[in-house]
Amino acid sequence: MPDLNLAKEDIRGFAGLINNVVAPLNENIKFKEKFTNKSFKILLNAVNLNYAASIILDHGILYVKSIPNKPKENLSKKSLNWDGFIEMDSQIFLAIAMKRISLIGVAMKWLTRKIKMRGILKLLNLLKMFNFLTKSNS
């Protein structure tokens, strides 16, 4: 279970951007109902930036934590205990967020090793979470 002090912690760089994107989900009633019984941790790393973002879902409540991504050992599964991992350039993250890259485009970048993913089944939960951002709260 995440520490409740995460909300007060200074969220830096890329993690701050991710926090601003996912924060509205904590007020979404439908989101909370769907994810009440789920808990997982997903690590998003933009390789050209200094901080990675750890998205923690704990029974319907989202937290984002910033983690320095250098040295590379800071992001290991053993040290952070993440369930899913995505690593790519920040420009690709931005293109995905702006829907300029389709799912097929993401798959092509994965095949060419521009995107690295681990725990793909848990990452599908991330896609489901992001779908709530485009739906209305009512």
Which domains, from first to last, does the chain contain?
Answer: 4-134 (3.30.1050.10)
pTM: 0.82
pLDDT band (50, 70, 90) for residue 99: confident
The tokens describing 111, both together, are: 């095949």
pLDDT band (50, 70, 90) for residue 138: very low
Nearest CA to 51 among 3, 6, 16?
A: 16
Instruction: Please report, rounded to a whole number, the percentage of residues in the chain having pLDDT higher than 70.
Output: 91
Q: Are 14 and 90 in contact (CB under 8 A)?
A: yes
pLDDT band (50, 70, 90) for residue 118: very high
Question: Which tops the pLDDT comparison, 23 or 131?
Answer: 23
